[in-house]
A and B are shown apart, each in its own frame.
Chain A
């Protein structure tokens, strides 16, 4: 008997766990949320396949936001941190060769973007983006500065907790995911309307990275650990896809 491989369709997305489209306290969602029922059907090859990103696309500093936009000999200002973790699927398997892209504000809470209006200063040595590809066990890491919280136009006085945005590309287009990482202990987490779209404390915890003293570099950088989970595939040994739907 050959080993059972997870080559079936993707496990349906848990819509009771993922945030709803319409979340009025996050005002922008009101006019950007579909209102008709979504059309549900099993994944097909179109969703079970995905482009391949080779490690050869990566430059040496792509996963080092302290240096990847800095002038030679200079570096970004702010608390130096390492963010590391694994990309896993719902079956607990590491996802190798996943493209992980990340972006964030600088240490003062300012993004490098022409539409950004916050008065905090730009850091000339900080671009705010990086990327990497997971190793065979699904692990990844990058170095950056800890971003600052910042105000945003929603309520009269809403502030985002410090966060890093993540975009993850697994092995199937159905796994495509964008999310945000928060930092343990940030008092803005429980006040934020965007965090508030999450349906449970368990979901908030799943996006909150813990300080990881074991991975700090003494006298250099602290570390935070952040695992991400993508949808998994069903085990198909006993499944007859010709008849099953």
Chain B
């Protein structure tokens, strides 16, 4: 008998189910507790950088909006620094949490994040990545939370040099990762779980 490696297995994921909002945004469901839901606001005071709004809907393979999803985003501040204990490069904007959580609109499923345009963050090899926001999606019917990223259509030069975007085989799918400015000034980032417009999801 050989030795054993003794690593633990990651806990298997299970779907967040139809009532994830009870657990993660209880006030949204009418359970008034905790003094408010976590992740509702990403700003705790005046923030540095360009303030932006991102809106979108999560669609299933039939084009139907999900109204029982939870979307979380995580990003650096305008200078590219994270408000994280693991951030060693400097002090992030103290008025910006970098983290948002949205249950989506009760009727339309549309999620909204009031945030700032993120600064650029290096790839492990030192090259700069294009400005992006990390996204995590859970819902009934999703067995393992889905990771993707929001990049910005108006950062064409940075996107063209991005270490991840440039290694995507099907370059015609890159628009699924790009937030576009809408007429109302907000960025639009819809997420398609499957179908011809299926969003690129990450194994990360």
- Which residues in A have some Cβ–Cβ distance to B below 8 Å? 9, 12-15, 17-21, 23, 26, 28-36, 38-53, 57, 59, 62, 68-69, 88-92, 97, 99, 101-103, 111-116, 127-129, 131, 165, 167, 171-174, 176-180, 194-195, 197-198, 202-203, 206-207, 228-232, 241-245
Contact = CB atoms under 8 A, between A and B. Distances in A.
A50 B126 CA distance: 20
B113 interface: no
A165 B84 contact: no
B67 to A, nearest CB: 9
21 contacts: A14-B10, A28-B15, A29-B142, A34-B199, A40-B202, A41-B203, A44-B129, A46-B132, A50-B84, A51-B83, A53-B38, A90-B8, A127-B33, A165-B17, A167-B24, A171-B85, A197-B15, A203-B12, A206-B11, A207-B14, A229-B9
B202 A39 contact: yes
Interface of B: 6-24, 26, 29-31, 33-35, 38, 60-62, 64, 66, 68, 72, 74-76, 82-87, 97-99, 121-126, 129, 132, 134, 136, 138-147, 149, 164, 167-168, 170, 173, 193-194, 198-204
A198 B10 CA distance: 13
B10 A18 contact: yes
A173 B13 contact: no
A88 B8 contact: yes
A157 B187 CA distance: 44
Indicate the member of B16, B76, B97, B124 with the most A CB atoms within 10 Å: B124
Contacts of A90: 7-10
Contacts, number: 267
A46 B80 CA distance: 10
Query: What's the dominant secondary structure at chain B's contact region?
Result: loop
B140 A28 contact: yes
Contact of B84 (A18, A52, A62): A52
B125 to A, nearest CB: 6
Given A29-B142, A59-B34, A90-B9, 9 more contacts: A17-B12, A21-B144, A36-B170, A39-B164, A51-B84, A57-B34, A113-B22, A172-B86, A176-B72
Query: What's the dominant secondary structure at chain A's contact region?
Result: loop
A33 B99 CA distance: 25
Contacts of A176: 72, 136, 145
A91 B7 contact: yes
A42 B33 contact: no
**Among all A-B residue pairs, the 10 with the closest Cβ atoms:** A103-B23, A28-B141, A49-B84, A32-B141, A38-B203, A51-B99, A31-B61, A19-B143, A49-B82, A180-B14
Contact of A165 (B23, B64, B66, B144): B23
Contact of B31 (A69, A97, A207): A69
A129 B34 CA distance: 10
Contact of A228 (B11, B22, B122): B11
B16 A178 contact: yes
A232 B200 contact: no
Contacts of A15: 203
A9 B124 contact: yes
B168 A39 contact: yes
Given A35-B198, A197-B143, A111 B11 contact: no
Contacts of A198: 12, 14
B33 A242 contact: no
Nearest to A227: B11
A172 B134 CA distance: 11
B164 to A, nearest CB: 6
Given A50-B74, A62-B34, A178-B13, A111 B22 contact: yes
Nearest to A92: B8
A127 B26 contact: yes
Nearest to A35: B194
Contacts of A19: 12-14, 143-144
A242 B126 CA distance: 7
A177 B87 contact: no
